[in-house]
Structure 1
Amino acid sequence: MSAEIHRLRDRACDSEKITINLGYVDLGHIDLLVREGFYSNRTDMIRTAIRNQLGRHAEAVQQTIVRQTLEIGLRHFSLADLEKVRDAGEKLSIKVIGLAIIADDVPCELACATIETITVLGTLQASKAVKTALADRIR
């Protein structure tokens, strides 16, 4: 299959918004650090803290990625990609850390015929119909 894997960069268009709840004291500490100029804003501080924790656990994460054969970055599955899989009589086990995209023109029947399982640690983008059709295969 000729689909490519792309490394994602930390840009606004390559990110997903999350919501977290913090205690008032923790939030106050963050605001203090921002006010004192350590960080430009709350988001900057939280991103930095998350990256620091990911860095602390980088070896364990890398070992898990190798052990579970996960692909990192952007993985796009086009209509042509899935037709090749079907024509070869194969099925995919999709495992991605990052963003997995199933093209909008992929019909539910083709997705069901070619995708055995989907594990995405990050975001899965696909039509609502395809997500519904594959719901029992999404881990």
Structure 2
Amino acid sequence: MSNVTPLRDKTPDSEKITINLGYVDLGRIDLLVQEGFYSNRSDFVRTAIRNQVNTHVDTVTKTIERHTMELGLRDYSRQDLEDLRAAGEILHVKVVGLARIASDVTPELALQTIGSITVLGALQASAEVRKALSDRIL
């Protein structure tokens, strides 16, 4: 028996992406890092992406409104899905950001209550729930 009690599961607050850059662009980034404008390459890339997204903030906002998508973090608990099932409703998940389906949600409950999933960002769900909903994840 272990005397270590986990305080909480650590959920990542970001998603890793991979990009390929030409040597000249990479050299320019390294130069800016060396000159102290950015702490490292990742800091530069995050800042560049944030700045680019901010130039299109109106378009993103209008698109989210048009598609009635939720922005940010959206958790779906077992209780949420059980309430939907009891009401005879089907959920269509539309999230820009992170959608999380609780770890205690069974594949059967997910299939009974989730009609479709559209996530622009990341979806966190158990492997079993992902497999059960694979044909509903757009």
User: Structure 2 length as normaliser, TM-score?
Assistant: 0.89
Q: CA deviation at 1:14?
A: 1.2
Does residue 92 in structure 1 map to residue 91 in structure 2? yes
CA distance in 1, matches of 2:136, 2:90: 12
**1:122 paired residue number:** 121
Question: How much has 1:41 moved relative to structure 2?
Answer: 1.1
Greater gyration radius: 2
Q: Distance in 2 between matches of 1:73 and 1:30?
A: 29
- CA gap of 1:121–1:105, structure 2 versus 1, over 3 A, is same
1:74 is matched with which residue?
73
Aligned to 2:19: 20
Count residues with an aligned counterpart. Answer: 128
Counterpart CA distance in 1 for 2:109 and 2:12 is 29
> C-alpha displacement at 1:13, in angstroms?
3.9
Measure the CA separation in 2 of the matches of 1:26 and 1:105: 46
The percent identity for this pair of structures is 65
Deviation by residue 1:80-127 (Cα, 9 ceiling, x = unmatched): 110000000000000011111111111111100100000011111111
1:35 corresponds to 2:54:
no
The RMSD of aligned alpha carbons is 1.2
Provide TM-score, normalisation by structure 1.
Answer: 0.89
Residue of structure 1 in register with 2:102 after alignment: 103
| Equivalent position SS for 1:129 | helix
The 1-side partners of 2:45 and 2:121 are apart by: 18
* Distance of 2:130 and 2:72 partners within structure 1: 20
* 2:43 equivalent in structure 1: 44
User: Which letter does structure 2 place at the counterpart of 1:128?
Assistant: A
SS in 1 for 2:50: helix
SS of residue matched to 1:14: coil
Give the distance between the partners of 2:60 and 2:97, measured in 1 at CA.
13
The runs of at least 4 aligned residues of structure 1 exceeding 6 Å deviation read none
Higher RCO (C-alpha 8 Å, min separation 6) = 1
Secondary structure of 2:118's counterpart equals strand
Provide the secondary structure at the position in 2 that maps to 1:22: coil
**Cα distance between partner residues in 1 of 2:100 and 2:39:** 33
